[in-house]
Structure 1
Amino acid sequence: MSAVTDAARITAPGNPVTQSIRDSLVVAKRNLIRMSRIPEMVIFGLIQPIMFVVLFSYVFGGSMNIGGTTDPAVYREFLMAGIFAQTVTFATAGAGAGIADDMHKGLIDRFRSLPMARGAVLTGRTLADLVQTALTLLVLAVVALLVGWRTHTNAVEVLGAFGLLLLAGYAFTWIGALIGLSVRTPEAATSGGLIWLFPVTFISNAFVDSSRMTPWLRHVADWNPFSATVQACRVLFGNPGVSTSDAWPMQHPVWASLLYSILIIVIFRTLSVRKYRSATA
């Protein structure tokens, strides 16, 4: 708790924006220290995406038709953008469970007694989750390279793709924050954080070519914010999976991914902070 008690020393009002940033970083530090002391949180978070890479690559790889070919190597390159995007969005469940756990244990009440910005508790938590997500992506990228995934663009575009992934992951953690504040137990937050993610990630272009879906389902998949991030990564990585859809997000996936992520952050951060204030009033 030493990282948290540092916030108690902030007594001068100062600039509200500066104080909010400083408080958020203090809370983020507290959560990162907690994660480092519970390494199984990170380890278990890595197991699922690695299993998806192996299972989809070797079990389904030879059965998927991508661009007129069933070559498993082509499918592996097509697949990885979807796995990366799925991994960052599944961080939603962890964020929601962590906030629900803090609420359940009364830790939020301790934060309330400190002279700190109200939104800093949630912002700090989501920033800590962002660091964990970045570590997970790094390990997953190494695993992807081992199974044959390659990029075919320059370093700037590749880094841009990972930047979009982290931004999307950060946006989705705010959805998790709202869920964590809206339920009574961490178990309910975990279930609530996962149950809606499966249709979001599977009714998309992450694992199959959306052009092979029925027309109404393809329309849903093409306008899915998750699909925009996946398609943007394929474009920036130079991987197979060029979309033939006329939908705007598929024609301009990088801009669509940016706009979707920013919109989700603005909406759900506002709702989460409002919920936090009413829950701790």
Structure 2
Amino acid sequence: MVINSDNNDICQWLIHVKLSRIVIMVLAILILTPLITHFYLSKVERGADLIEHNVYSHKNLPEDINAIKLADLKIGLAELLKIRGSVLSELRDIEQKRQQYKIEMQGYSKDIEELRQELSHQQSNLNRLKISIEQAQVAQKEALQQNTPELILPKSLTADALPLVFPPLPRNLSWRCRMFSCFDHSRCSLTSGFPVYLYDPDKYPVMHTGWDVDGFLKTTLKQTLGYNSHLTGNPKKACIYLVLVGEALKNSGNNEDEHIYALDGEALKRLPYWGGDGRNHVLLNLARRDLMTSSGDIFSSIDTGMCK
């Protein structure tokens, strides 16, 4: 009864299964069955071949192994001999290099020792020089500490007052004046630096009316002396006094007497530092145009006192 019921279930299942599914199942069974069969048959053949090979290989094994071992041993021995020769050659080269390096090291050690000795010798010389320098410095200090005079340049010694006023010299005596007899050397000491004072031509004119000193000369002289270290603006310190008196030019439109001289002697005497007789004064006539000898001496008829 149970079997009948199972058969009935299978039949019912087959009835309900679609035809396409049945076809797929049949195809799968047909494909898988030959594959499985082929796999197992191949495995059996490989096992048989291996058994046969093992049988035959064991029969020929001793002779093949002995022949192969003898040839391999000869080849290996030859290679070992070559390697041994190469190693021995390299060892000989290394030994030669070692000996050469050893000789070089000995030479370097000798040079280093000589350099050390030279360094010690030079260090000793340096120490002796240091000691000599220190002794010289001590001797110098001792010499400076002794009663040695201090040698320095002398201080500048200049006059500190304006020139004294002296009575004017008679004309016949003024012509006999010379530097050694009518010059006040007390204002020009050796350490004074020879200071020079310049009368400003515009502030202290010494020309007659209608005459004037060339403007170019005035400007040039003031600029030139302005760069000179001897020029001073303090008349108390001056050694000499400069008065610019020419070249004198007539002013335009001046119709006065041609015989009137350009230089005014009375204006000279009115200079603030003339001192009565004009000592230490220098009159500058820097002619640029009228250089003819016929022009004469502009100071010939002027009383300039001791001034030259």
Same fold (TM over 0.5): no
Task: Indicate the TM-score class for this superposition, using the shorter chain for normalisation.
Answer: under 0.3
- The structure, 1 or 2, with the larger RCO (C-alpha pairs under 8 Å, 6+ apart) is 1
TM-score norm. by structure 1 comes to 0.20
TM-score norm. by structure 2 comes to 0.18
Looking at secondary structure, tell me which structure has more strand per residue. Answer: 2
